[in-house]
Amino acid sequence: MKTVSYDRYGDRDVMRMTDAEVPSPKSGELRVKVHAASVNPVDGKVRRGELKLIAGGHFPKRPGLDFAGVVDALGDGVSSFKLGDRVYGSAKSMSEGAMSELAVVNASAIAKSPAKLDDVTAAAVPVVAIAALQTLRDTAKVKKGDRVLVNGCTGGVGIFALQLAKRFGAQVTGVCGTDGVSLARELGADDLIDYRKEPLAARSERYHVILELSGKLPFDQAHALLDEHGIYVDFSPSPASLIGNTIANPFRSHKHVFAMTAGKTTDLEALAKMLDDGELRPPPVRELPFDRFSEAFELAERGGIIGKVVVRVA
């Protein structure tokens, strides 16, 4: 089978399309014929060696954290799926990604694909939608009336965070560039900040939750925008930040917390239903073919993309 992999840390040029043995699923796993896999910021962080403590130092590694495709083989104990099911979900790990013709995944981290989405669009959903849902519900515990600022509201996570925060009853302010304002308004933002025209620091409002998705608003600046017991959610923490802020949080009113999420069948099922019912809109997608995978990563890592970049594998 064809797969994208790399055997050392580095920039995009370390990735190669190679031939690999067909993997076999173990107990609790299944094998998917991958139709599409999306590119996420963490793919680049792993490849550059920024997450060695989590991803480990063994090679080769495969990128591609989420995917859509068809069940190709079942491991022992898997009864909730059958051969030929259209599924979407999360890859097995950060180093065993789905940018491959076939991928073995944990049955607990996938669900049947939204019926109304094609595979390319479905592949753009799992990681970012799960991150938005679990962060708002479990980490920030957003409730009706909370004021939520989504900094980077037209990226993959931001598009779902904006919509889901509204579903939870929050008053949502979205921050994006000029070219994203129209989409953010359509998705239901109560207020919008075009960062190219208005600095965040000029705002007098205070927020209960700030979702920092842009990588441009550090906590030492964001805390001035938080209310007395506000929560700043960091989606791109460094290991030092994880340790330092976990220690400091008990001694301050403003909390610096981290988005720690994982693929889960029940959450993916709930998201699929909302997408099929029209209660959520999927992100816009930039699609590239498998043989242009490097270009897909370049496009995604350049930043400023509205929505997601997806590689059509099959």
| Model confidence pLDDT, tens digit, residues 104-149 | 999 999 999 999 999 999 999 999 999 999 999 999 999 999 999 9
| Domain co-membership, 190 together with 79 | no
Residue 264 maps to a domain = no
| Domain co-membership, 167 together with 187 | yes
Number of domains in the chain: 2
What pLDDT is attached to residue 239? 64
What pLDDT is attached to residue 249? 78
CATH number, domain of 117, equals 3.90.180.10
| Model confidence pLDDT, tens digit, residues 140-168 | 999 999 999 999 999 999 999 999 999 99
What pLDDT is attached to residue 200? 87
Residue 274 maps to a domain = no
Residue 277 maps to a domain = no
Tokens of 184: 């953010």
Q: How many other β-carbons are positioned within 10 Å of the β-carbon of residue 25?
A: 21
What pLDDT is attached to residue 45? 92
Residue 98 has pLDDT above 80, yes or no: yes
| Model confidence pLDDT, tens digit, residues 40-97 | 999 999 999 998 888 888 999 999 999 999 999 999 999 999 999 999 999 999 889 9
| Domain co-membership, 138 together with 99 | no
Residue 244 has pLDDT above 90, yes or no: no
Identify the DSSP state of 78: -
* pLDDT > 90: percent of the chain: 83
- Angstrom distance (rounded) from CA 117 to CA 272: 9
What pLDDT is attached to residue 304? 83
CATH number, domain of 184, equals 3.40.50.720
Residue 100 maps to a domain = yes
Residue 242 has pLDDT above 80, yes or no: no
Residue 47 maps to a domain = yes
Does 126 sit behind a cis peptide bond, omega within 30 degrees of 0 on the bond before it? no
| Domain co-membership, 141 together with 198 | yes
C-alpha 134: how far from its chain's center? Answer: 11
b/e code 218-256 from CB counts within 10 Å (16+ = b): ebeebbebbeeebbbbbbebeeeeeeebeeeeeeeebbb
Residue 104 maps to a domain = yes
| Domain co-membership, 66 together with 138 | no
Residue 18 maps to a domain = yes
What pLDDT is attached to residue 247? 78
- Overall average pLDDT of the 232-243 stretch: 79
Domain limits at 77? Answer: 2-125+282-312
| Domain co-membership, 72 together with 12 | yes
| Domain co-membership, 237 together with 302 | no
Residue 275 maps to a domain = no
| Domain co-membership, 135 together with 251 | yes
- Angstrom distance (rounded) from CA 116 to CA 96: 28
| Domain co-membership, 289 together with 254 | no
